[in-house]
Chain A
Amino acid sequence: MAAPPSATPATLRVGRRPNPQLDQWRRTWYLLRRNTLALVGLGIVLFLVAIAIYASFLPIPWNDMTAYCNFHAAGCEYVCTYTGGAAPGPNCYQVASNFPSFIPPTLSLSSGAGQFPLGSLAQNPTAPLYYNTFSGILRGSDWSLIIAFSIVVSGAMIGLVVGSISGFFGGAVDETIMRLVDIFLSIPQLLFVIITVTVFTTFTIPGLSVLASRVTLLCLAFIIVWWPFYARIVRGQVLVVREQKYVEAARASGAGRGRIIFRHVMPNSVYPVFIQMSLDVGTVPILVGGLAFLGFNLFGLSTTQVFPEWGSLSAFSVNQFGAVFSACSVGACILPWWQILFTGMMLFLFAISVNFFADGLRDALDPRLRR
């Protein structure tokens, strides 16, 4: 293995000010680049982010999935289905007569083959009312990523500030903050979110729609139980950093407390936070899915509506899958495997790729674990 590149030789760029932070990032990137799994993880995450950005420009409903049915009826889009024989038209899908809402995946994105590349997401196997898995996943990408990132980033910001203050000042401040952190760490996370969202069922933030306030509330509930983890990590790191020589030097040269905290202590304590953040961001959609799976009306929608978010979609499809299963005897039954496969896969893919990335990041940032 070649030695990590040090700072660019001074002969090449005369007069370049040394920038140790930039050099640190370069070194990290160099070490990360050598870890295939981490790079794959990073690639998938970036791909999903790109999808989310793309999805936000699509003309799909953003708050509720379009309902389709195979007959002309109010409140749903018409889609042609047939049970046997030749296809009556170009955009028609074959379904079994006892399960009119199960459209298997067409696995084709070309406009001629139709709009169900990943099959239908049936609400009730026998009622001809269903959703499009593909558009749900596509539309769900921006909601899921926005919810996940906003929770983790806000939690980390709060934890960073609180943890730095706690670790840097020590004494009574530290004691108080750490007891507060203990309190929040002792509350069962999911139950707290459940309570908060149920208690404020009718709560709407002025100026926001019902759905937007529910999403905000969900995020706030998660942030409240999440920041203490970061605060504890940061505090532990700050306790080490504040004893370093460069902090002493800064203090000796007359830097104020604020400057020392924000310019010297904090930047040197954030590395474990990045790792923890990338671990956590993947679990958010899974947790949301778990809540939705319990039959919990997270987003204040009516029972016929489905919110396009990966966790909720997956929970919805798993619930429906179980219902299909217990409703029919095996053999005569069609198992809509596409429902649970594709929605579950998105959750899994996102979580595992951020995990691989986080693991690579940890190896790159922590010299003790360096290979």
Chain B
Amino acid sequence: MQMWVYVVRRVALLVPVIIGVMTITFALITALGPIQQITSYFGPPPTHGQIHTYNPTIPCSVLNSSQTGTCANPLYTQYASKLGLNQPIFIQWGNYIYRSFTFQWGLVSNHSAEQQSYLAGLISGQPVATVLSWLLPYTLELAILALIIILLVAIPLGNLSAVYRNRPVDQASRVMSFSGFAFPGFLLATLIVLAAVLLLGTSTLIHTPWCPSGETALAELTGSWPSVQSPGSCAYPGAVAANFGYPAWLHLGVISHPTGFPTVDALIHGDGWLAVDSLLRMLLPALVIAFGSIAILLRFVRNSMLEVMNLDFVRTARAKGVPESTVIKRHAGRNSMNVTITVLGLTFAFFIGGFPIIEDVFQLNGVGLIITYAVLPNGEDFALIFGSTLLFTFLVVAANLIVDVLYAYLDPRVRLG
């Protein structure tokens, strides 16, 4: 089979999976009831005019009639028919799938604005898909950084612990990876921030090339960009007063233009120090994420390496006098690598669930942070929760697709068989 045929086939197989996930979210959103559905799709009921509610029935006196009793709410009727809620469930399902595929995911509720941050103010009332597209690049860059760290540590360490099985190296790597697995991410992240602030002090300013006037340690560690409101108030080159002191390409200090990837954008605008800063701010969160999910990959690398090292061709290589380091690197290592790639998708799906926590602790302007806004108990933002679920589903599915294609590319037996 040609490579492209394989890719097309894999993509085609993904469509039913995505539709299946959407069916599950459809079932849940239907269980919410029509009022919540209308609110999450069209935003809260208008505050001007007579009717302030989406309830199906309202007291007739609201409709300026002299009648008493309850009447049908015209607002409800109008929006319910717009959303197709009066149609059979299959049609509703079809509508939902269509809306999901066309990124009509509703509006972010206004209550996010209570969070008192630039980010919350920016997103409230905006379409969910738009907001997610603003913040996704940041989360992706963080995920890629974490994945690179995981790969850089897990593959050499896994190979080492397979070669030196049950020796100190193996035991140490085992204890380390299991600790990461067993240590609650929220605890570790909070401890790191607190410990750093303890060491550096709460009031002393840290002067850096990208923030010559200095920032407090807490501001230095959290937030995705140098703060302009902390005591030192770093001055940005090209700062715009109307943009709260951020340069024009960094909208409200939340979204960077044009790509949204912070490091890339800073480089595009020629600010090398800011690029370094944005990367450094991601490093600690990425390390926490990597520490938490390295165990899966590490154990897998070790076990697949152990299996490969028992195979005939490795014995043959040894028998014909190939140096041991070459056997490990070239013969065993490369073959165990192929299998290792298949776990990458799983690792990705595993650690992406931890993003809300990490982004919350480090206050990074990513998708995870707004999920934490959406789950607060005083009025959940269903449009945002469901939208980010769909987005994360797309991410997981895309990651699995990339992994499969990569695997097929490296191992021809997969696409031929």
In the bound complex, do residue A325 and residue B197 qualify as a contact, i.e. CB atoms below 8 Å apart? yes
Give the residues in chain A near B174, CB-CB below 8 Å: 37, 359
Report B363-394 CB contacts with A as 1/0, cut-off 8 Å: 00000000110011100101001101100110
In the bound complex, do residue B197 and residue A314 qualify as a contact, i.e. CB atoms below 8 Å apart? no
Number of interface residues of A (CB under 8 A): 53
Task: List residues of A (294-321) whose CB comes within 8 Å of B's CBs.
Answer: 294-297, 311, 314-315, 318, 321
A247 proximal to B (CB < 8 A): no
Report the minimal beta-carbon distance from B39 to chain A, rounded to whole angstroms.
14
Give the residues in chain B near A195, CB-CB below 8 Å: 25, 28, 385-386, 389
Residues of A in contact with B (beta carbons under 8 Å apart): 37, 179-180, 182-183, 185-192, 194-196, 198-201, 282-283, 286, 289-290, 293-297, 311, 314-315, 318, 321-322, 325-326, 329-330, 340, 344, 347-348, 350-352, 355-356, 359, 368-369, 371
Give the residues in chain A near B187, CB-CB below 8 Å: 289, 314, 318, 340, 344, 347
- Least CB separation from B345: chain A residue: A185
In the bound complex, do residue B184 and residue A187 qualify as a contact, i.e. CB atoms below 8 Å apart? no
In the bound complex, do residue B185 and residue A290 qualify as a contact, i.e. CB atoms below 8 Å apart? yes
- CB < 8 Å neighbour of B181 from A192, A321, A326, A351: A351
In the bound complex, do residue A198 and residue B21 qualify as a contact, i.e. CB atoms below 8 Å apart? no
Task: List residues of B (191-211) whose CB comes within 8 Å of A's CBs.
Answer: 191, 194, 197-198, 201-203
B411 proximal to A (CB < 8 A): no
Report the minimal beta-carbon distance from B298 to chain A, rounded to whole angstroms.
12
- CB < 8 Å neighbour of B353 from A37, A180, A189: A189
Give the residues in chain B near A188, CB-CB below 8 Å: 349, 352-353, 389, 392-393, 396
B220 proximal to A (CB < 8 A): no
Report the minimal beta-carbon distance from B330 to chain A, rounded to whole angstroms.
22
Query: Known contacts A199-B28, A330-B201; is A352 also within 8 Å of B178 by CB?
Result: yes
Report B3-31 CB contacts with A as 1/0, cut-off 8 Å: 00000000000001110110011001101
Q: Which of B50-58, B238-246, B248-256, B354-362 contacts A (4 or more CB under 8 A)?
A: B354-362
Residues of B in contact with A (beta carbons under 8 Å apart): 16-18, 20-21, 24-25, 28-29, 31-32, 165-166, 171, 174, 178-179, 181-187, 190-191, 194, 197-198, 201-203, 218, 295, 299, 303, 306-307, 310, 349, 352-354, 356-357, 360, 371-372, 375-377, 380, 382, 385-386, 388-389, 392-393, 396-397, 400
A329 to B203, CA, bound (A): 8
- CB < 8 Å neighbour of A198 from B16, B295, B375: B375
In the bound complex, do residue A330 and residue B191 qualify as a contact, i.e. CB atoms below 8 Å apart? no
A368 to B310, CA, bound (A): 9
Query: Known contacts A289-B186, A321-B190, A340-B191; is A183 also within 8 Å of B21 by CB?
Result: yes
- CB < 8 Å neighbour of B375 from A183, A294, A351, A359: A294
Report the minimal beta-carbon distance from A298 to chain B, rounded to whole angstroms.
10
A168 to B295, CA, bound (A): 31
Give the residues in chain B near A297, CB-CB below 8 Å: 377
Give the residues in chain A near B360, CB-CB below 8 Å: 293-294
In the bound complex, do residue B353 and residue A368 qualify as a contact, i.e. CB atoms below 8 Å apart? no
In the bound complex, do residue A286 and residue B353 qualify as a contact, i.e. CB atoms below 8 Å apart? no
Query: Known contacts A195-B28, A200-B31, A329-B202; is A183 also within 8 Å of B17 by CB?
Result: yes
Query: Known contacts A330-B198, A352-B179; is A318 also within 8 Å of B375 by CB?
Result: no
Query: Known contacts A330-B202, A351-B181, A368-B310; is A191 also within 8 Å of B371 by CB?
Result: yes
A145 to B235, CA, bound (A): 52
In the bound complex, do residue A183 and residue B20 qualify as a contact, i.e. CB atoms below 8 Å apart? yes
Give the residues in chain B near A351, CB-CB below 8 Å: 181-183
A198 to B378, CA, bound (A): 11
In the bound complex, do residue A191 and residue B32 qualify as a contact, i.e. CB atoms below 8 Å apart? no
- Least CB separation from B33: chain A residue: A199
In the bound complex, do residue A186 and residue B198 qualify as a contact, i.e. CB atoms below 8 Å apart? no
In the bound complex, do residue B306 and residue A368 qualify as a contact, i.e. CB atoms below 8 Å apart? yes
- CB < 8 Å neighbour of A180 from B20, B31, B218: B20
In the bound complex, do residue B184 and residue A348 qualify as a contact, i.e. CB atoms below 8 Å apart? yes
Give the residues in chain B near A189, CB-CB below 8 Å: 353
A300 to B349, CA, bound (A): 29
- CB < 8 Å neighbour of B186 from A180, A187, A293, A326: A293
Give the residues in chain A near B182, CB-CB below 8 Å: 282, 286, 347-348, 350-352, 355
- CB < 8 Å neighbour of A371 from B166, B375, B377, B397: B166
Report the minimal beta-carbon distance from A366 to chain B, rounded to whole angstroms.
8
A199 to B181, CA, bound (A): 30
- Least CB separation from A356: chain B residue: B178
Report the minimal beta-carbon distance from A11 to chain B, rounded to whole angstroms.
37
In the bound complex, do residue B372 and residue A295 qualify as a contact, i.e. CB atoms below 8 Å apart? yes
A194 to B357, CA, bound (A): 13
What 7 A-B pairs are tightest by C-beta distance, nearest first? A351-B182, A183-B20, A352-B182, A190-B353, A188-B392, A297-B377, A293-B186
Q: Would you give 10 A-B contacts (Cβ < 8 Å), ordered by A?
A: A186-B17, A186-B21, A198-B380, A294-B357, A318-B187, A340-B190, A344-B187, A348-B182, A355-B295, A368-B306
A189 to B351, CA, bound (A): 10
Give the residues in chain B near A198, CB-CB below 8 Å: 375, 380, 382, 385
Give the residues in chain A near B16, CB-CB below 8 Å: 179, 183
- CB < 8 Å neighbour of B184 from A192, A194, A314: A314
Report the minimal beta-carbon distance from A121 to chain B, rounded to whole angstroms.
15
A347 to B182, CA, bound (A): 7
A296 to B185, CA, bound (A): 16
In the bound complex, do residue A194 and residue B186 qualify as a contact, i.e. CB atoms below 8 Å apart? no
A206 to B390, CA, bound (A): 32
In the bound complex, do residue A295 and residue B393 qualify as a contact, i.e. CB atoms below 8 Å apart? no
In the bound complex, do residue B28 and residue A196 qualify as a contact, i.e. CB atoms below 8 Å apart? yes
- Least CB separation from B174: chain A residue: A359
Report the minimal beta-carbon distance from B335 to chain A, rounded to whole angstroms.
15
Report the minimal beta-carbon distance from B236 to chain A, rounded to whole angstroms.
26
Report the minimal beta-carbon distance from B202 to chain A, rounded to whole angstroms.
6
In the bound complex, do residue A322 and residue B194 qualify as a contact, i.e. CB atoms below 8 Å apart? yes
Query: Known contacts A191-B392, A194-B375, A329-B203; is A186 also within 8 Å of B397 by CB?
Result: yes
Query: Known contacts A186-B21, A188-B352, A369-B306; is A290 also within 8 Å of B357 by CB?
Result: yes
Give the residues in chain A near B306, CB-CB below 8 Å: 368-369
In the bound complex, do residue A355 and residue B377 qualify as a contact, i.e. CB atoms below 8 Å apart? no
